[in-house]
Amino acid sequence: MKVGLSLKYQLQEESKEAEKQCNLWEWFLMQWGVKIYLGHEQREGWNGNLPFYLFWCKECGEHSKDYPHSWPEQQYLICVHCDARHSFVPWWVPFKMIWGLIWFAFQLRFRSK
């Protein structure tokens, strides 16, 4: 899904500003793939707030600001400079999926016949 050009340009400018405000520790973490939470924002025409993150794009070597796209099990961030997708599945999703599978197996095993 392509981001509108005006939003893309705006996010590029905001990426530069957010990068300037990062401390050395956050900058170091981004180099290792950590996404830095910047806060929730609501843009014009949006129904609600979305979390925004600053991250390092290994494809183009730039810092980028974006919000998570797709369902929690498949979330990703898109670099506003090169349109590369970066996985952003929350840490709790795999555990929730495994627990759901265990619970389903338990119910199958012990359901009354």
Place of tokens 């099990």: 73
High-pLDDT (> 70) share of the chain, %: 89
- How many domains are contained in the chain? 1
Cα–chain-centroid distance for residue 68?
4
Report whether pLDDT(53) > 50: yes
Is the overall model pTM greater than 0.75, yes or no? no
69 DSSP β-pair partners = 76
pLDDT at 77: 92
Domain that holds residue 85: 5-110
Terminal-to-terminal C-alpha distance of the chain: 48
Q: How far apart are CA 108 and CA 72, in angstroms?
A: 26
* 74-79: average pLDDT: 88
Q: How far apart are CA 30 and CA 32, in angstroms?
A: 5
Query: What are 55-71's pLDDT values in tens digits?
Result: 989 888 888 989 888 88
